[in-house]
Structure 1
Amino acid sequence: MQKIKIGLATALMAFALGSCKTYQQGYGKNNTDVDLLEKADWKIDTLRKDVIWYQYSSTTNPEFANQNVNVVSFNPKAKLGYAVLAYEKEKDSLSVFASKIPGALAGINATYFIEKKDSADYMHLRLKGKDLQQVKVPKSSIYWWKHQGMMTFNNEGTQFDIQFSPENFASVKSENIITGAPMLVDDYKPVGLTFADTSGLKLDLKKLHYEHYLKHQGVRHPRTAVAVTKTGKLLLITVDGRNAAAKGMSAKELTQFLVRYFNPKSAMNIDGGGSTMMWIKGQVPNGIVNYPTDNKKFDHYGQRKVETALLIK
C-alpha cells in the first residue's frame, strides 16, 4: 500500500455559475468558521479534540427528509494529527484500508477508480510528486467531466485545498493531487447548483449513458465528498442512498445541503454510489458507520473494494 500525509496547493479555471444567488445569501466570506450552522436533526460526537463526527438523520425536514449523512471535521491547526491518503492497485474495503494505517481514527473512500478498464485515463493521481495516473481523455469523451475538480495537499497532511482542475496538471506545483467531480463549492460560490441541474429539462435520463454527467450527477445516489472550511478544516462527507430511509442526493442537493449546514470555502464530489463508505474507529460491527449498498441491504456490511482511501490519524 502506498500512503502519504496530505495537504494542498493552487489551480485555475473559470466555470459558469448560473443563478446561484439564493444560496449565497447569509453565507459570505466574513462568517465565523463554525462547523455546524444548524443543529436540529444532528448528533455530534467528539472523537478527539480536533476530530468531530456529525450525524444527520431526519424524516420530517422539509428540504432534506429521508436522508442519512455523516460528516467528519478535522482541524489540523490543533496539531494533534494529520490526514493520510492511501492507494492500492489491488482494491480493498475501507475497513481493511483503515486497519493498515496505525492510529487511524476516521476515514472515507476517496476518488474514482484509477485502475478501471473503461476509465480511459480520466483521473489524475499524484503522490509525493509522482504522477501515478494522468488525464488523457479528450473533451469529447463521455468522461470529460470526471476530473473537473482537484484536491491538492502537502506531505504533512495538514494543509488542504480544493479548486477547479487546470488544463495542464504539470502547472500544479503541489506534491499531491487527487481529482474528482463535480465541483460543488468554489470560493463560497455554490457552483454545484448548476452543474447537472435537470429541472425543467425534457429529457429521459434513463436513456443516457450511465457516465453522462446529467444522469450521473443529476439524480439521487449515495455520495462521498470532501470540503475545506475558511480556517483550513477538512470535512469528510458521506450521503447514504438507494433506500427509503436514505434516498441519496443529486449534486445540486448535496451542494444545497453543504452550504446550508457547513458553508465550506470549497467542496468537491468524489467517488460515490456503491463506493460510498465512512469508517470510524471502534464503531460496531466493523467501523463502517454509513450504509454501503453493494450488498443491497441497509446495513454496514456492503463495502465495495476501492483503490483510494482518505483517513485521519
Structure 2
Amino acid sequence: MIKGINIFFLFVAAPVIGFYFAFLQTNPVHSFEIEAAVLPIKETSTSVKTINDELSTTTKITISTKEEIDSILKKVKKEQELLETQEKQLNDLVAQSKEQTNKSDVVLEQILSNLLGEPIGVSDGANSTVKVYSLVEAGYRGYMAKVRVKSQDALKMLLAHDKVVSNGEITSSAAKRSNAILAVNAGGFWKTNGQIAPMGITVVDGKIKTFYENPALSFVGFNTQGHLVGGKITKPNQVKDRNILQGASFVPTLLQDGKKMSIPAKWANTRHPRTIVGNFSNGELLFIVIDGRREGWSKGITLEEIQDKLLSFKVKDAFNLDGGGSSAFYYNGKILNRPSDGRERPVTSNIVIMK
C-alpha cells in the first residue's frame, strides 16, 4: 500500500522535479535579464557614436566659423585702417585748401590794396563780409564791393515791389525795405502798357519769375552757396539742376574762366555808366558801378577797358548788368555813386546783400 502511494506521489512530483533540475541548468529569468541588459548597452554605444560624430561635425563647423569671423575681423580692421588713412588725407587736403585759401585771400587783399588803396567801408555780419573800395581812374569814377557770402540768406534778387510787371523801384528803396547793407541794380527791362518788366530769365528764391528765351542775353545767377552761376540757360530745369536761387539777365558776358569774351559790335568801344558783377579767383563776389555821362566827374568806361581792369583784379568770371541811367551803388544807408540821370532810375530788379 505504502509502495503504491510512493509511486503515485513520484508520478505527481516528477514534473516539478524535472522543472527544478531544468531551472538549475539554465535560469530563463537570468537569461532574460542578461539580454535585457545587453540591448541598452548596444543602443547606448550607437547613440554615443552618433553624438560623437555630431560633436565632431559641430567642432569642425565652429572652427570654420571662427576662421571666417577672424577673416571678417581682419578685413574690417583693414577697411577701418584704410578709412582712417583716407580721413587723414582728406583732413590734410582740407587744411591745405584752407591754407591756400587764406594765402589767396592775403594775396588778393594785397593786390586790391596796391591798386585801390584801403577800403572806404567794411561791414562784417553773420551773412556776409563786405568791403567797399573807391575807383578813381583817368576818365572815370565808381565804386567796387568785394563780398564774402557766409550764408544762403546773404544775397537776394528783389523784383520791384515783388511784382513782375510794375512801375519799377529805385535801388535804395529795395535796399532799405530788405534791410540790406549793399545793393546794385540788376537785370534789363522792357516797357509794357506803360509799365516795365524784366528781360530774359529772372529767378527769385529758387522760383522762375520770367523765362523769355533770348540767345543774345546772358543769365547772371547765384546758387545755394552764394556762388556766381552765369552763362546760357536754355531750359527751365537747368535752374533747378544748377541749384540757382537768384538771377537776372543782361548782356554781354565779359570774362569766363579768366579769359576775355568777345564784345558784340554794337556794344564795342563805347563809354557808358556800367554795373558789373563777377567773382574773384577765391570765389568771393565782386560788384562794380562806374559812373558816366557826367562831364567833370566821370565819362564812363568801355567794356574792353573794364575787361582789362577786372583781369588786373584777378577776377575769374564777369557779366555786364543793366547800365546807363540804371546804374546805382547803395552802401550802408545811401547811394554812393552819381546816377547819370541826376537821380536814381526805377528798375525792375535789384541785387541786395544782407549783413
Question: Does the TM-score normalized on the shorter chain lie above 0.5?
Answer: yes
User: Partners of 2:123 and 2:219 in 1: how far apart?
Assistant: 30
Is the 1:163–1:186 Cα contact (8 Å) retained in structure 2? no
Is the 2:269–2:302 Cα contact (8 Å) retained in structure 1? yes
Task: Specify the alignment match of 2:263 in structure 1.
Answer: 195
- 1:107 counterpart = 2:183: yes
Q: Which amino acid aligns with 1:272?
A: G
The Cα of 1:80 is off from its aligned counterpart by: 11
Q: 128, 131, 151: which one pairs with 1:52?
A: 131
SS of alignment partner, residue 268 of structure 1: strand
How many aligned positions are there?
236
- 1:253 counterpart = 2:253: no
Is the 2:189–2:198 Cα contact (8 Å) retained in structure 1? no
Q: Which amino acid aligns with 1:54?
A: Y
Structure 2 gaps of 5+ residues are 1-102
Q: Which amino acid aligns with 2:299?
A: K
- 1:72 counterpart = 2:139: no
Q: Which amino acid aligns with 1:68?
A: R
User: Partners of 2:152 and 2:206 in 1: how far apart?
Assistant: 25
Q: Which amino acid aligns with 2:286?
A: L
- 1:37 counterpart = 2:104: no
CA pair 281-119 structure 1, distance change in 2 beyond 3 A: closer
Task: Specify the alignment match of 1:14 in structure 2.
Answer: none
SS of alignment partner, residue 304 of structure 2: helix
Written as runs of structure 1 = structure 2, the 5 A alignment for 1:1-313 is 32-33=104-105, 34-35=108-109, 37-38=111-112, 39-40=114-115, 42=117, 44-49=119-124, 50-58=129-137, 65-77=138-150, 82-88=154-160, 89-90=165-166, 91-102=168-179, 104-113=180-189, 116=192, 122-137=199-214, 144-145=215-216, 147-154=217-224, 158-173=225-240, 174-176=243-245, 177-191=247-261, 194-196=262-264, 214-244=265-295, 245-260=297-312, 262-282=313-333, 287-295=334-342, 302-313=343-354
Is the 2:254–2:260 Cα contact (8 Å) retained in structure 1? yes
Q: Which has the higher contact order (CA 8 A, sep 6+)?
A: 1
TM normalised by structure 1 equals: 0.67
CA pair 310-35 structure 1, distance change in 2 beyond 3 A: farther
User: Partners of 1:148 and 1:121 in 2: how far apart?
Assistant: 13
Structure number with greater Rg is: 2
SS of alignment partner, residue 310 of structure 2: helix
CA pair 305-187 structure 1, distance change in 2 beyond 3 A: same
Q: Which amino acid aligns with 2:309?
A: F
- Cα deviation, 1:245-274, whole Å, max 9, x if unaligned, reads 3111122111111111x2112111111000
User: Partners of 1:215 and 1:121 in 2: how far apart?
Assistant: 21
CA pair 105-168 structure 1, distance change in 2 beyond 3 A: same
- Cα deviation, 1:95-122, whole Å, max 9, x if unaligned, reads 11111012x1111111112665799985
CA pair 40-233 structure 1, distance change in 2 beyond 3 A: closer
Identity of aligned residues (%): 23
CA-based RMSD of the aligned residues comes to: 2.8
User: Partners of 2:310 and 2:192 in 1: how far apart?
Assistant: 30
User: Partners of 2:251 and 2:263 in 1: how far apart?
Assistant: 10
SS of alignment partner, residue 311 of structure 2: helix
Is the 2:122–2:130 Cα contact (8 Å) retained in structure 1? yes
CA pair 159-190 structure 1, distance change in 2 beyond 3 A: same
User: Partners of 1:175 and 1:163 in 2: how far apart?
Assistant: 10
User: Partners of 1:92 and 1:195 in 2: how far apart?
Assistant: 29
Is the 2:184–2:327 Cα contact (8 Å) retained in structure 1? yes
User: Partners of 1:35 and 1:268 in 2: how far apart?
Assistant: 22
User: Partners of 1:247 and 1:130 in 2: how far apart?
Assistant: 38
Structure 1 gaps of 5+ residues are 1-30, 59-64, 138-143, 197-213, 296-301
Is the 2:199–2:250 Cα contact (8 Å) retained in structure 1? no
Is the 2:187–2:198 Cα contact (8 Å) retained in structure 1? no
The Cα of 1:93 is off from its aligned counterpart by: 1.0
SS of alignment partner, residue 92 of structure 1: coil
User: Partners of 1:162 and 1:48 in 2: how far apart?
Assistant: 24
Is the 1:43–1:56 Cα contact (8 Å) retained in structure 2? no
- Cα deviation, 1:266-289, whole Å, max 9, x if unaligned, reads 11111100000001114xxxx110
- Cα deviation, 1:52-109, whole Å, max 9, x if unaligned, reads 0010113xxxxxx1211211111124x697122211243111111111012x111111
User: Partners of 1:221 and 1:43 in 2: how far apart?
Assistant: 26
Q: Choose between structure 1 and 2: higher helix proportion.
A: 2
